[in-house]
């Protein structure tokens, strides 16, 4: 998907909502048994009930891989359910030496097909470059993550006065254009968004941490939006597991609608 196509979808739907697909058998509604078949049913109904309210879906590969070979088949089936106008992010956090990264790029950008892949930058540019330069495909690089452990390394100060995450952003923004490179910036660090947007004025951010992790959508938007919106705000648990009953799809839709309505108000300046 091109940048212009993504921005068009955001404005058409007045939404920059990304829904994370993290199918945890232990959290599925009580009438579903956690099998591959019931997980497919669960995700199918989630997608059908929310597809008009979001612009992106983010399957988390760990929850599929946990099923073994059946999980990869499930992942491919779920991709086929997502309408073509949606931006599809494979949340796999890959990143390895160059020849291995080339194979990962072939796997995720070839078959099955997705629009973007999350990548860990720790091993440097040669581990990221194989994912770049694929037509209408995106790298989403970990920048400042939403988990408590982000304090361990990302928030450490370097001798040059920058935090480690800032050094990652300054360095990595030279690797790819805003039309192929996004960054993960966690909503649990709202105070950092102003500075991060100054470093990356034109890049899109994938923003986890709103909802179940306590991040504020209003704070993220105040400091993180740019003239193209520039944000894909992800919600996983807060939408997927809004109800443990048979009304789970309706409850998920209600939560997604609540977020979309807030996003619409922000975009309209209400």
pLDDT tens digits for range 26-70: 999 999 999 999 999 999 999 999 999 999 999 999 999 999 999
Give the three-state DSSP class for 112: coil
Choosing from 44, 77, 93, 257, the catalytic residue is 93
Give the three-state DSSP class for 123: coil
Q: Which fold has domain 3-268?
A: TIM Barrel (3.20.20)
Known catalytic residue at 93:
yes
pLDDT for 144 equals 94
Q: In degrees, to the nearest 5, what angle opens at C-alpha 130 toward C-alphas 125 and 132?
A: 85
176-211 residue pLDDT tens: 999 999 999 998 888 889 999 999 999 999 999 886
Residue 112, pLDDT above cutoff 70: no
Q: In degrees, to the nearest 5, what angle opens at C-alpha 204 toward C-alphas 200 and 209?
A: 105
Residue 213, pLDDT above cutoff 80: no
Residue 153, pLDDT above cutoff 90: yes
Residue 24, classified by CB atoms within 10 Å of its CB into exposed (0-12), middle (13-18) or buried (19+), is middle
Angle between helices 248-268 and 36-50 (to 10 degrees): 40
Residue 270, pLDDT above cutoff 60: no
Distances (CA, A) of 56 to 16, 19, 31, 122, 245: 8, 6, 27, 26, 25
């Amino acid at each position: 998907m091109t940048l212009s196509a993504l921005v068009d979808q955001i404005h058409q739907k007045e939404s920059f909502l990304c829904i994370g697909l993290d199918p945890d058998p232990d959290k599925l509604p009580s009438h579903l048994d956690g099998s591959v078949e019931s997980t497919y049913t669960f995700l199918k109904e989630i997608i059908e009930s929310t597809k008009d309210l979001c612009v992106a879906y983010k399957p988390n590969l760990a929850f599929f891989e946990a099923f073994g070979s059946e999980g990869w088949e499930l992942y491919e089936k779920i991709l086929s359910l997502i309408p073509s106008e949606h931006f599809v992010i494979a949340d796999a956090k890959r990143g390895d030496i160059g020849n291995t990264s080339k194979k990962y790029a072939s796997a995720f950008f070839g078959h099955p097909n997705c629009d973007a892949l999350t990548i860990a930058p720790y091993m440097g540019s040669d581990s990221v470059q194989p994912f770049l330069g694929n037509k209408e495909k995106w790298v989403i690089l970990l920048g400042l993550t939403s988990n408590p452990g982000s304090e361990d390394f990302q928030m450490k100060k370097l001798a040059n006065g920058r935090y480690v995450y800032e050094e990652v952003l300054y360095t990595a923004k030279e690797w790819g254009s805003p039309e192929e490179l996004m960054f993960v910036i966690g909503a649990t660090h709202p105070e950092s968004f102003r500075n991060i947007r100054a470093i990356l004025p034109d890049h899109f951010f994938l923003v986890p941490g709103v909802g179940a992790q306590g991040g504020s959508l209003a704070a993220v938007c105040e400091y993180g939006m740019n003239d193209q919106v520039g944000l894909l705000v992800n919600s996983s648990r807060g939408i997927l597991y809004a109800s443990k009953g048979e009304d789970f799809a309706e409850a998920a839709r209600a939560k997604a609608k609540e977020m979309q309505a807030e996003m619409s108000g922000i975009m309209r300046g209400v």
